[in-house]
Amino acid sequence: MVAAMARLDDTASLAAAEAQISRDAARRLDIAFRGGAGIFSILVLLIAWEIFARSGKVTAFMLPPFSAVAERIYADAIGGELWRNLWVTMFRAITGFAIAAVGGIALGAVMARSRIVRWFFDPIISVGFPMPKIAFLPIIILWLGLYDVSKISIVVFDAIFPVVTATLAGLAGVEKELIWSGRNMGASERELMWQVALPAALPQILTGLQVALPIALIVAIIAEMAMGGYGLGGAMMSASRFADSRGVFAGIVEIAIVGYALIKAMALIRRRLLVWHQETAERH
């Protein structure tokens, strides 16, 4: 009888192990399929671009072949111009994003704790969020000039709104039982905020940061286009003024690559920070 039970246990363990291996294999296959599908669609787009540009239906000025654009990107990289413009744009976008992230989380936390602060800022957030903040660019130019301070300022002004609203929504969604348990254990209001409320609201806050990061890049490039100077946006406008079609399309491709890399980096950071959370466990 004991031997039979042992054989049953071994059979059950073997079945469980085989089921786990099957699930892991299916998960890897799904990840590979999704990654392959993304690469495949991009390759199809680039091939279609190359074929259409060489079909004779459009001129090389209107749509240069992708191969010619890739050659231009390579030449700019070898000459150092690409890295200089990329560094300038990334500095402005990431600096503005970092300021917006810290300021937005802090303001959202204070608004969640103080009724007076929320009473004052809530109408401003409600009116300003849907408003195209880039419309304030001429005013910022008048006040701060055409250099980095003005470009970073418009990035902060545009990117802070989704961070504030996400922080407010995340803190409002924290379960009351967590707050009550913390208070019963003698935690102060500051400890409740830092050790209970903010960690519980972290998924929502990270969602706001994931929205704010591409906004920061977009606004930085638009500001460079409007103000000129170095940067990916400024280089595109300079190429446009000299009717350099390849330079303009090279800038578009470079911005697309940078944006994709930033989004993937932010998604990786989210997975790392939420390794304890249910959404990460569900993916694995």
DSSP for 195-226, please give it. IIIHHHHHHHHHHHHHHHHHHHHHHHHHHHHH
When pLDDT is averaged across residues 245-261 and rounded to a whole number, the result is: 92
Q: Check whether residue 14 and residue 74 sit in a common domain.
A: no
Q: Check whether residue 225 and residue 264 sit in a common domain.
A: yes
- Residue 200 CA to its chain's centroid (Å): 21
Mean pLDDT lowest among 112-116, 159-163, 246-250, 262-266: 112-116
Q: Decide which of 39, 57, 75 is a domain's last residue.
A: 57
Instruction: Give the residue from 99, 90, 94 showing the smallest Cα distance to 231.
Output: 90
Q: Check whether residue 113 and residue 201 sit in a common domain.
A: yes
Q: Check whether residue 39 and residue 80 sit in a common domain.
A: no
Has residue 8 got a pLDDT over 50? no
**Which residue segment(s) compose the domain that 147 sits in?**
66-283
Task: Provide the domain count of the chain.
Answer: 2
Cα atoms in the 13 Å half-sphere on the side-chain side of 262: 23
Q: Check whether residue 77 and residue 44 sit in a common domain.
A: no
Identify the CATH number of the domain in which residue 92 sits: 1.10.3720.10
Q: Check whether residue 11 and residue 101 sit in a common domain.
A: no
pTM: 0.80
Q: Check whether residue 159 and residue 237 sit in a common domain.
A: yes
Identify the residue whose tokens are 């911005």.
255
Mean pLDDT lowest among 25-29, 170-174, 234-238: 25-29
Residue 6 tokens, joined: 């042992």
Instruction: Decide: 201 and 174 in contact? Cβ < 8 Å.
Output: yes
Q: Decide which of 57, 81, 101 is a domain's last residue.
A: 57
Q: Check whether residue 19 and residue 127 sit in a common domain.
A: no
Q: Which residue has the higher pLDDT, 152 or 8?
A: 152
Instruction: Give the residue from 31, 103, 59, 88 showing the smallest Cα distance to 223.
Output: 88
pLDDT value of residue 155: 94
Q: Check whether residue 125 and residue 242 sit in a common domain.
A: yes
Rounded percentage of the chain residues whose pLDDT exceeds 90: 41
Q: Check whether residue 29 and residue 88 sit in a common domain.
A: no
Q: Check whether residue 43 and residue 152 sit in a common domain.
A: no
Tell me the pLDDT tens digit for each residue of 126-160.
888 888 888 888 899 889 888 889 999 999 999 99
Q: Check whether residue 214 and residue 260 sit in a common domain.
A: yes
Tell me the pLDDT tens digit for each residue of 36-91.
556 888 899 889 989 998 888 888 888 899 999 999 999 999 998 999 999 999 99
